[in-house]
Amino acid sequence: MKSIKLSKVLLQVLLIAFAVVQLYPLLFLFFFSLKDNNEIYSGNVMGLPQHFYWSNYENALLNANVGYYLLNSIFVTLVVILVSDILACMVSYAIARMTVKINGIVKTFFSLGLMIPLHAVLLPVFIMLRNLKMLDTYQAIIIPYIAFALPMAIFFMIGFFQTLPRELEESAFLDGCGIYRTFFQIMLPLVKPALATISVFTFLSTWNEMMFAITFINSEKYRTLTVGIMQMVGKYTTDWGTMGAGLMVATLPTIVIYLLFSKQVQSGMVSGAVKG
């Protein structure tokens, strides 16, 4: 009995130790976002700040423009989520419910997308955007992001539509409801929980995406947080506090969403793993 108790304590120690390993880098970031260079250079890199320089945040948000990048990121991410959610719902409804011969081909076609790494299309999409004079615009990242959010969203939504009972639609059709009205007024409200999951998944991949963003976006006006922070590095390498504050601003929305929707985030990410 005693040995069981001991091993339980030992397990808890291990669990806490691992929690520290997982959290410390974030805490380290928070700490140095509040320090000034003097403190860091005089040896206090790791610990609590002696003075809290909240002005680092002001500096990052206003002078380093992180506030503006934040707004850009929010705008881009919202558009991507909204459009890809609607498009994915339409396709998945058609695939899950409608009886058209080419259904199988359409489904396979979209699920192939789960296998395509972004690298494989980077250069062709870059040249395409360049020829269309669309480089360095919001569309330059929004459209590719939507395209790459679709396969996962469709894959997930088909599964969800298939679990819904058919009776509701049947009675709607009998009442003379057309297919579009049935879809928008009856089916869409029913898939809200699945939409939350898939939106969170799309949020994370869009918010954090880097390769397309740093390649397709350059000018100040369209920079999202990832691009903005990459560009900040040159100018603020030596200003740890401002850099740290910028990184905190980029991270905070994700953490807030995670704390609010941790169940959806977790289930969305687990189903996203199938994508590999």
What's the DSSP call for residue 224?
-
Q: Does 258 bind other proteins (CB under 8 A)?
A: yes
Q: Does 180 bind other proteins (CB under 8 A)?
A: yes
Binding-residue pattern over the window 95 to 124 for other proteins, x denoting contact by CB under 8 A? x-xxxx-----x--xx-xx-xxx-xxxxxx
Could you tell me where the DSSP H helices lie in the chain?
A: 2-32, 37-41, 55-58, 66-97, 103-112, 119-131, 138-163, 167-174, 179-181, 188-190, 192-208, 211-216, 225-236, 240-260, 262-273
Please give the Cα distance from 251 to 169 (Å, whole number). 42
Q: Does 244 bind other proteins (CB under 8 A)?
A: yes
Binding-residue pattern over the window 199 to 218 for other proteins, x denoting contact by CB under 8 A? -----x--xx-xx---x---
Q: Does 43 bind other proteins (CB under 8 A)?
A: yes
Residues 3-42 that bind other proteins (CB under 8 A): 8, 11-12, 14-15, 18-19, 21-23, 25-26, 28-29, 32, 40-41
Size of site (CB under 8 A) for other proteins: 91
Q: Does 192 bind other proteins (CB under 8 A)?
A: no
| The token pair that represents 66 in the structure block | 């992180």
> Taking contact as CB under 8 A, which single stretch among the options 52-60, 62-70, 185-193, 248-256 is the one that binds other proteins?
248-256
Interface pick for other proteins out of 79, 146, 157, 195 (rule CB under 8 A): 146
Q: Does 133 bind other proteins (CB under 8 A)?
A: no
Interface pick for other proteins out of 6, 13, 46, 71 (rule CB under 8 A): 46
Q: Does 234 bind other proteins (CB under 8 A)?
A: no
Residues 57-86 that bind other proteins (CB under 8 A): none
Side chain identity at 176, as an amino acid letter? Answer: G
Please give the Cα distance from 69 to 74 (Å, whole number). 9
Give the per-residue SS3 of 123-181.
Answer: HHHHHHHHHCCCCCCHHHHHHHHHHHHHHHHHHHHHHHHHHCCCHHHHHHHHCCCCHHH
